[in-house]
Structure 1
């Protein structure tokens, strides 16, 4: 099975609960940014690195991934699928690919976007020996990720949840290079609960057996809902990754303002006097009605933004309806995710699939509206509304 171009194993089985409601109907790697799924950007980086064989580890809502990518021919690669039927950690996910590889291979996360250079650097270093490789990159907030401690070119520790002061800005970038020996190492890892690949790497690092590969290119991670907007904007501002679809079926009314940093899919309808701006992605079959304003937002297929509506810093999911003159206020918000409180994040609001926001309603302070919600005209929503709920006035 091995070949000169190598094999990439992409981990795409996860659910992504912190991204609910967007992940209620789609796995996290299929959440769209710049009008294409996260996973598509990852696959394109692998293909651009010259790797033409991909093993996708799929699980949660896997039919969405299989139906989109099929055999990989549209991306110039061959895609095979292996299933992680229960999500028991990234190490367990890698283990599911054992039957599909028989030589050195690269591992990537299906929800983190990197440049092709990160993939090719690891692939090329794999030819030098059997030591596991870990890409290391610098970020502004290392505490949010797996902090990587380095001694020369050796990784001495990957600390997933650092406590106390963090003495480095370098993190595990989530691109790995392994020989088939990693499978026995994973099986012998002594860890309770979910089996993370970093637990195996830390055991190997104690024996001086993990090599770091420095990487200073693009590294875009979607962990929380507001990251969808940040990553969408980063991709739109890079012309290599963002592109308008062919204009087939697109209908744009008179006196419409569409900024340069807006990407439109096909079959989009934009009414007269509408304004689209600020790193906005409008997916297929979306309607933006007359006099509406959409700014720094991601709008998924079949959604409708009603006449005079104002939608800022928002994610509007598939087939959602924003009523006439409704407002998603936008700006800095405080958002609660599980037990964690995140302050000063840019998220006007999220509207789940098939939800309807009534005319004149207002979403403020990072409101998160679940799937199939019905919100009456004129209501004000400033928190989290569970899927299927009805929000009434008064």
Structure 2
């Protein structure tokens, strides 16, 4: 399985940490977020990794150049990152999405055990790792789940519709890559599509009941969105 890490954005809410470095290189516990992710993926046998960069990609390239050649992820530039949303990073990697893959946000820490559980529970098709919660944050990607199926995804779902939030980890197996690429083309090709979050692809697939929800342990992952999140992870 290939892993695609979306790491093109700056992360202005993490300033001043992101003044000279992309968000994925912000150190947490003495190690870059990206390195935490690579280690968790490798612990699960996933070493075929492609990083989608944008902001300060020169720093990202320099960081990766210090890794042994057999452990060095591929790096691909998303040239649209300043004027488009995260769906543009997925579009940049579209030719890498025709085989089984997992796709993750470049600003979220996952334990190796959480990734292992997600991979173990993933079924044929599209799978989204979610966390049940009553404590939603302002910028959460909300998820409406019915049984084991995702019914809707978005930041502005109606009150009471969502009891989960996305943990930013997608797994595509079997027919999943084909479904995902078809939905990507449809969403980004619509009016204003370049301004959508990549979760809009999952929302489109959810119309056809094509996305399985995998409920994960929220204590084993954390989105590093603000400086206080770094402290929260280090206090674990």
Report the TM-score when normalising by structure 2.
Answer: 0.85
Match of 2:77 in 1: 83
Aligned equivalent of 1:156, options 131, 147, 151: 151
Matched, 1:224 2:222: no
Match of 2:113 in 1: 117
Higher relative CO (CA 8 A, sep ≥ 6), structure 1 or 2? 2
Residues 125/105 of structure 1: CA separation in 2 closer, same or farther (3 Å cut):
farther
Residues 207/191 of structure 1: CA separation in 2 closer, same or farther (3 Å cut):
farther
How far apart, CA to CA, are the structure 2 residues paired with 1:98 and 1:117? 28
Displacement after TM superposition at 1:7 (Å): 0.9
User: Which structure has the larger Rg over C-alpha atoms?
Assistant: 1
1:277-288 residue pairs with structure 2 within 5 A? none
How far apart, CA to CA, are the structure 1 residues paired with 2:91 and 2:80? 13
Q: Which is helix-richer, 1 or 2?
A: 2
Displacement after TM superposition at 1:159 (Å): 2.6
Match of 2:186 in 1: 188
Match of 1:98 in 2: 94
| Structure 1: runs of 5+ lacking an equivalent | 1-5, 235-394
How far apart, CA to CA, are the structure 2 residues paired with 1:46 and 1:33? 17
How far apart, CA to CA, are the structure 2 residues paired with 1:167 and 1:102? 31
Report the TM-score when normalising by structure 1.
Answer: 0.53
How far apart, CA to CA, are the structure 2 residues paired with 1:67 and 1:90? 23
1:289-304 residue pairs with structure 2 within 5 A? none
Aligned equivalent of 1:12, options 7, 22, 39: 7
Residues 123/95 of structure 1: CA separation in 2 closer, same or farther (3 Å cut):
farther
Determine if contact 2:5/2:50 at 8 Å carries over to the other structure: yes
Aligned equivalent of 1:42, options 34, 37, 40: 37
Determine if contact 2:144/2:161 at 8 Å carries over to the other structure: no
For this pair of structures, how many residues does the alignment match?
A: 225
How far apart, CA to CA, are the structure 1 residues paired with 2:85 and 2:206? 19
Residues 233/109 of structure 1: CA separation in 2 closer, same or farther (3 Å cut):
same
Deviations 1:120-147 (A, max 9, x none): 3444455x42x21100113452243112
Matched, 1:132 2:126: yes
Aligned equivalent of 1:172, options 158, 166, 184: 166
